Structure 1
């Protein structure tokens, strides 16, 4: 549920889109347990796929049913970030992705946390509007991670999964940092608007 998506905003908390976001959040520890404890990769991939589908579905339902809410605008990106972070940690510990790649992804989120903290301190704004590029980056990464996990094996299908997984991963990280650059520009504009009005 993007901040910029059209629709009437509601103060309701108990909505179907918010319930889907909560279910996605509950799937995070389940995913970690499946990957790191059980090493049940097929089930872990199913959890990731369900997360990706509900990420799409909650925004669609929120717009269609006019249930866009501030709670949903906070829960949706939180679930995205948690899935990406925990997947990075799990795949790094399993040695599916190299440490440098994990640092590149986590570094972007750290940089964004600094930008948001700066804007909050200057303007009291708790977040920046989500835009299509950021969602596209998340989309690529949510496809990359299951493919890379599936590619952690021998044979033709795992090899193909690795190839496509790394293609999505490279595009995802590039878009991820590009989106970060756009967020920095947004933050700068917000702060400049403050200076112009003060």
Structure 2
């Protein structure tokens, strides 16, 4: 893992972070075209930053911190914006925020035992992918016409899969942490 800061994957993650307030403004003020472009761009750059980092050996500690922060901020801002506009129900926001609270506890326990983070699971990446593609489709479904009618069931399918995978990934992280703690205890004993 590199200690470099200025890499293409890190720049892509930083651009995603800079786009969060613009996206939130666009969704709340119903500038849906801009919100869709920013959200789609976020999904594309989320995929590219990881792919480029792994393929070209540009994995950095900064990137490991920036990428999930950008993901979480887009998910939080999108959830709040879509719920504010009554495109998604507030209970879905609560279910996804509950998973974030659960993960906060897992991360705190990991840090208390000296681990700065846990390796990323495919389920977590798949959950983020599903959620980042569900949201623009649900936003598109808020309109009228053929595209809105097509986008709605596809968007909800991504949302349900993403929510399920989001919780599955959280449980996998907790199981992984439990195994690490058990292995540490076995070595000490």
RMSD of the alignment, in Å?
Answer: 1.0
| Structure 2 match to 1:190 | 180
- Measured after TM superposition, the shift of residue 96 of structure 1 is 0.5
Q: Does 1:20 align with 2:12?
A: yes
Paired with 1:41 and 1:108, the residues of 2 have a C-alpha distance of: 27
Match of residue 66, structure 1, among 57, 60, 78: 57
| Structure 1 match to 2:160 | 170
Paired with 2:125 and 2:168, the residues of 1 have a C-alpha distance of: 12
Most deviating of 156-165 and 16-25: 156-165
Paired with 1:17 and 1:195, the residues of 2 have a C-alpha distance of: 37
- Measured after TM superposition, the shift of residue 52 of structure 1 is 0.7
| Structure 2 match to 1:128 | 118
Paired with 1:15 and 1:176, the residues of 2 have a C-alpha distance of: 28
Match of residue 36, structure 1, among 15, 28, 37: 28
TM-score, normalised to structure 2, is 0.96
- Measured after TM superposition, the shift of residue 179 of structure 1 is 0.9
Paired with 1:147 and 1:178, the residues of 2 have a C-alpha distance of: 23
| Structure 2 match to 1:6 | none
Paired with 1:113 and 1:197, the residues of 2 have a C-alpha distance of: 27
Paired with 1:150 and 1:85, the residues of 2 have a C-alpha distance of: 18
Residue correspondence of structure 1 range 25-174 to structure 2 within 5 A: 25-37=17-29, 39-121=30-112, 123-174=113-164
- Measured after TM superposition, the shift of residue 62 of structure 1 is 1.2
Which residues of structure 1 form unaligned runs of 5+?
Answer: 1-8
- Measured after TM superposition, the shift of residue 127 of structure 1 is 1.5
Paired with 1:161 and 1:64, the residues of 2 have a C-alpha distance of: 33
| Structure 2 match to 1:5 | none
SS at match of 1:10: coil
Instruction: Give the aligned length.
Output: 188
Which residues of structure 2 form unaligned runs of 5+?
Answer: none
- Measured after TM superposition, the shift of residue 64 of structure 1 is 2.6
Paired with 1:179 and 1:64, the residues of 2 have a C-alpha distance of: 24
Paired with 1:139 and 1:54, the residues of 2 have a C-alpha distance of: 11
